[in-house]
Structure 1
Amino acid sequence: GSYTVIIIDANDCFFTKAITVEIDSLDSVYVWPGDANADKIVNIQDVFSIGLAYNDTGPARDSISITWDRKCAFAWINFYASGANHAHGDCNGDGKINSDDIGAISANYGLTHTKNSSSVQYNVSTPDLYMTFSNDSLNPQDTFTATVHLGTDSAQSTSIYGIAFTLTYDDLLIESGSVIPGFSPSWIGNIADTSLISFSKIQTSNLVMVQVRTDRKNSIGFGEISQVSFEITANPGNSQALNFSFSDIHAIDSAGNPINITDTISNSVYISETTGILDYMSVSDVIKIFPNPTTGIVTVKSLSKRDEVFNISVFDILGNLILYVQHNPIQQDQSTIDLSNYRSGIYSIRIATSISAFSKKVVLTR
């Protein structure tokens, strides 16, 4: 623009001069605190941009602030694979990209500015996301841990740099304030040595979880990546399943390329009533499953002689139903399940009656 400059010399003489100042538009960018990937919305994918440019530095903004408005910044030297300048990743404007910038993502989560749409090209598919539970069955006010896994021994990941997802559940069955997310251990990285940064946000009926590396190196592996602790409410009502499901799943490699996570599995844990098949006994008290571990044959034995049919379902570690039988304790006190034709591993046996249900993990070794 055009400006008038006033100069005062040593003798207090005034001089004026009209000047024109031009700034190359390529040297400046508009940024919105929290929209680290410049896609016009603050969401779980913005944490990836922090990890992809971790420890990069550039000019600090005049306004070191995370308030939600458009801010002018000088362009940095480096760019993301998407073409966005690294200045967008400096969410708090202090001239450094690090874990401090996650605060802006949390504060402005879900906010938009002229939302756009774009198509995403994914890399080849990678292993499933699935859960295991610390308890086979639950009662009111029980505390349990849900462990999130990525990949299996037969379907390992070879190029994971970061992953984000939303875990949805029925919060009417969960005690308010009891949800505690965690990211240690995780085969993707180590929170303790800052090779991994994380972000979580508890919302109504769901939990957002993100983890991303900071060293530009992909991880290879499978297994546990995060944990969530819950407490069952004191009054969950009749016996029922607490269902968990994954949505809004995103993953990237170290170049920022998206990776498609396919065939995610819904998971359930069962809440039993305090009274069940026998007076003041839950279904898990009157049904025994043995031996465990097993080399193939598993026995399901009922201690109840009531005329009530049990449904016995067997699932593999990916949640696929592989066997289903019915057992009537009035006709016989036990049933056998033959796993001899299946691979070694962990299987879940679910026992369900008309009033209650529980699941138990069985280890098959051959």
Structure 2
Amino acid sequence: MFGYGAKNEFVVENRTVVITGGSDGMGRAVAMQLAEKGANVVIVARTVSKLQAALEGITAAATNPKQRFHFISADLTDAAECERVLEEVTAWNEGMPPDVVWCCAGFCNPGFFVDVPIQTQRQQMDTVYWTAANTAHATLKKWLAPIHPSAQMSLPKRHLIFTCSTLAFVSIAGYGPYSPAKAAIRSLSDTLSQEIEMYNGARAQRHQNAAPAADVKIHTVFPMGILSPGFDNEQKLKPALTKKLEEADKPQTPREVATVAIDALERGEYLITTMFVGHVMKGTALGPSPRNSLIGDTLLSWLSSLVFLQVIPDLRGKAFKWGKTNGLPNGN
């Protein structure tokens, strides 16, 4: 209906996938589903015990005894660690870089902007934006290294996938430390979606010049709430006003989010939302981002613009009424 045929644009069988934040939550669910589809999977996180436990479940989901699985403990806020991860995966993968890298690492520390220490806000930028940016930088350095025409092979398209949040489209009071980092990922994704075409274009002339070994596609997934240990911790910190403002967010399970995201990747989508409210939030903020469907996204944008004529004044009004009724946060 919206321009996509039956072709699977995200084949992972017999391919190697790296998932950061793969020991828990959405990352673990993604790893298990891709294992079910025949992928070789490497999960990356900090805590070895959680990685070991996750890898057991991921290995059990395999459909082919020849599939391989591995974990790497790393602090992805350190760019050098990201480069080490890519080197280790390449060595483990018999000298070939991974085919797919999916950035799921990060956590949310909500709170009102002036109540959250600046050091915590810097940490949010590190653990949300820089883990993704560092991983992308190390990955693309590997993937985009030029290869002489005589060494060119016919390789399938590679995929770099960011995990963002609908808060990058429409922010909510109480997410001041977190939303800017997610908005930065969305901006990076849009930038890379343009830059990568230069390298893909060079491959179109690879019979004449050096070019990367494979075409690359950028994607970004924008979930809303995801039921996980991280979500439980987030709820403990979240201001009561924030909970009231996001009543329309009905959290999904990690498996639900992973299923919707992978289905969208198989359709070849770029900006991926995982539920109806998220679709509407995306529609109001598409701006110059590439469209998944010219007709579908245009109609969605029109609908969202009408909806948010009422939504934003409503959110601001609720915040005003909350302050009028309850006074300053923390009883100040």
TM-score normalised by L of structure 2: 0.24
As a proportion of its length, which structure holds more strand? 1
Give the structure with higher Rg (CA). 1
TM-score w.r.t. the length of structure 1 is 0.22
Which of the pair is proportionally richer in helix? 2
